Amino acid sequence: MFANARTMGNDASIHQHKLSSNANSCRQSRIVELSSIVASNTLKLDQYFASAGVPTPSFDIDAPVNIPLPPDLESLRESILDASTELNELLLGPRETMVDWQFNYYVPLHAISHYKLAHTFPVGEEASFEDIAEKSGLSTPLVRRLLRHAIANRIFKEVRKGVVAHTAMSRLLAEDTLFQDYVATGEDTLRATSYTVRAMLKYPGSEEPGQTGFSLGEGSDDSFYQIMASDPRRAERFMNCMIMKLQGPGYDVEHLAGYSLWETLPAGSTVVDVGGSHGEVASAIAKRYPSLKFIVQDLEATVDVHTHLSDPLEGRIRFMAHNFFQPQPVKGADAYILRWILHNWPDKYCLKILRNLIPALKTGARILINESCLPEPNTMPNRADRKLRVNDTLMLTLFNSQERDEEEWIDLFRRTDQRFRFVGMSTPEGANLSTLEFEWAPV
């Protein structure tokens, strides 16, 4: 049939006419459906960028780090990303999709981080591979190999043969200290990941925090937190990684501050934030509800360095040193918050944390769990589902813990004590964390 390729113009037109005539009776293929979603929704976003005077996304050095979008357009962006991801993988096919997973992607990124290659020349200027090699202590051939792999992934760009400049992504590695620590922390998680199955084989069914891929990779029986405590710089690096992660809009404390319970609590009610760090959550709620009082509990070292509170909040928020593996000292509070605490602990330890609350609880006291809640199968867009599953695997790798779905959260409280009553769950639009509410109902 290839011999007749030059004479196919008329045939193609006829064929196209037939396709048009039968359009109503033919179902669109999935790849055409996906491409239509990408095209139409991208046009809407582009129109918004133009009308709002927002720069269109690019990899240029001065491109914004985040794309600022109102909530309704954020969901539009997610639909484009979901559709384009699926379209890409359909066109690759199953084998090439799996082969295309870049297991070695982190090698050049780790080298760039470790040898501070992004710091070898200023942002806005250019440097040769030889210049970078001289400043980093690496050989020129090795620098060339590492950077060209990074360049293929849009980290740096080769403006002329042998000469590189920064892009928006390499600029982050040069100027954003939180992002630098985020990348450097990958060294810990990558090693832990490679040891996770070995830990599963060595410690089948373990719920011990010191029997993880992370601990095995460290050659230790200590838990993640114990190992980090022994190396302050490493602990700081991990903390900065978490701070960067929490900077996204999906983790904004305002999602929890807008929870409906706060409106129903009587004036003068006390709320205890267990493991509340420096009081970010308590401050956000207190600003909205001036009649509520707060006690923020955390380990002594954290409480001792808490940020000074603005005058309107003085006297309404106080800090208390407390280890949640010890009995709760604040008795009779109206509500207790545990935000992003329990997903770091296996069930057996979560049961201890929750049971330590019980002697302090009065009838009607509320326990609020602010955590990721895994979705039911096929109920969430694919990209969002993937992120949650990645986090779930990371909990296994680092802590022998897990993310949980709604039924698993309810079951955890049921096993803690049958007197806990599940009130309900709320996930605000745009939030990555859900709020699950339980009531202490002993009667």
What DSSP line would sit under 36-88, residue for residue? HHHHHHHHHHHHHHHHHTPPPP--STTS-SS----HHHHHHHHHHHHHHHHHH
DSSP 322: -
Helical (H) or strand (E) element with 129: helix 129-136
- Report whether 194 contacts 217 (CB < 8 A): yes
CB atoms within 10 A of CB 140: 15
Q: Does the active-site annotation cover 255?
A: no
Residue that is written with structure tokens 């095995």 in the block: 216
Answer for the pair 441, 362: CB distance below 8 angstroms, yes or no. Answer: no
Q: Which amino acid is at 436?
A: L
Catalytic residue among 149, 166, 255, 343: 343
Q: How far, in Å, CA of 180 to CA of 193, rounded?
A: 20
Are 213 and 198 contacting, i.e. CB atoms less than 8 angstroms apart?
Answer: yes
Query: Measured between alpha carbons, how far is 20 from 23 in angstroms, rounded to an integer?
Result: 5
| 242: amino acid identity, one letter | M
Tokens of 356: 């330590």
Which DSSP letter does residue 344 get? G
Q: 277 to each of 69, 190, 274, how far by Cα in Å?
A: 29, 27, 9
CA distances from 201 to 76, 205, 244 (A): 43, 9, 33
- How many angstroms separate the CA atoms of 145 and 297, rounded? 50
Residues in Cβ contact with 128 at an 8 Å cutoff, skipping those fewer than 6 apart: 162, 163, 164
**Rounded Cα–Cα distance for residues 96 and 90 (Å):** 10
Alpha carbon distance 410, 420 (integer Å) = 9
CB distance 149 to 141 below 8 Å:
no
CA distances, 119 to each of 113, 129, 131, 166, 277 (Å)? 9, 13, 12, 10, 33
Rounded alpha-carbon distances, angstroms, from residue 75 to 34, 69, 87, 251, 272: 16, 9, 18, 16, 34
Looking at the annotation, which residues are catalytic?
Answer: 343
